[in-house]
Structure 1
Amino acid sequence: MKENILKWVQEGQISFPSVLLTHYKQMNINEEELVLLLHVMAFIEKGNAFPTPTEISARMTVSSTKCSDLLRRLIQKGLITIEEEYSESGIRYEKYSIEPLWSKLINQFLMSENKQQTQNQEKMEMDLYTIFEQEFGRPLSPFECETLTLWLDDDRHEPIIIKAALREAVISGKLNFRYIDRILFEWKKNGIKTIEQAKSYGNKFRQYQNHQQKGQAGEQTTRSEAVPFYNWLEQ
Structure 2
Amino acid sequence: MDKEILLAWWEEGVLSVPQLLLKKYKQLGLDETELVLLLQVYSFLKEGNSFPTPEDLANRMTIPESMCVSILRRLIQHQFLSIEEGHGEGGILYEKYSIKPLWAKLADEFVYEKKQDELEKSLNEETDLYTTFEQEFGRPLSPLECETLAMWIDQDGQSPELIKAALREAVISGKLNFRYIDRILFEWKKNRILTVEEAREYARNFRKPSKPAAEKPKTSNPVPFYNWLEQ
Structure 1 equivalent of residue 90 of structure 2: 89
The amino acid that maps onto 1:172 is S
Structure 2 equivalent of residue 233 of structure 1: 228
The amino acid that maps onto 2:228 is L
RMSD, matched Cα: 2.3
Structure 2 equivalent of residue 168 of structure 1: 169
Structure 2 equivalent of residue 227 of structure 1: none
Corresponding residue pairs, total? 206
Query: Quick one: percent identity of the two aligned structures?
Result: 54
Structure 1 regions of 5+ residues with no counterpart? 1-14, 220-230
Aligned counterparts, 1:49-128, within 5 A:
49-128=50-129
Query: Which deviations, in whole Å up to 9, do the C-alpha atoms of 1:11-32 show, x marking residues without a partner?
Result: xxxx772222233223222221
What secondary structure is seen at the aligned counterpart in 1 of 2:91? Answer: coil
Residues 140, 16 of structure 1: alpha-carbon distance in 2 compared, 3 angstrom cutoff: farther
Return the structure number with greater relative CO, CA threshold 8 A, min gap 6. Answer: 1
Structure 2 regions of 5+ residues with no counterpart? 1-15, 217-225
Q: Indicate the structure (1 or 2) with the bigger Cα radius of gyration.
A: 2
Asked whether the equivalents of residues 133 and 139 of structure 1 are also in contact (C-alpha less than 8 Å), the reply is yes
Residues 122, 62 of structure 1: alpha-carbon distance in 2 compared, 3 angstrom cutoff: same
C-alpha distance in 1 between matches for 2:123 and 2:178: 21
- The answer to whether the aligner puts 1:151 opposite 2:149 as a matched pair is no
Asked whether the equivalents of residues 183 and 233 of structure 1 are also in contact (C-alpha less than 8 Å), the reply is yes
- Under a length normalisation based on structure 1, what TM-score does the superposition of the two structures give? 0.77
Structure 2 equivalent of residue 33 of structure 1: 34
The amino acid that maps onto 2:148 is T
Shift of 1:218: 5.6
Structure 1 equivalent of residue 200 of structure 2: 199
Asked whether the equivalents of residues 56 and 64 of structure 1 are also in contact (C-alpha less than 8 Å), the reply is yes
Shift of 1:176: 1.8
Structure 1 equivalent of residue 212 of structure 2: 215
Asked whether the equivalents of residues 40 and 57 of structure 2 are also in contact (C-alpha less than 8 Å), the reply is yes
4+ runs of 1 displaced by more than 3 Å? 214-219, 231-235
- Under a length normalisation based on structure 2, what TM-score does the superposition of the two structures give? 0.78
Residues 49, 190 of structure 1: alpha-carbon distance in 2 compared, 3 angstrom cutoff: farther
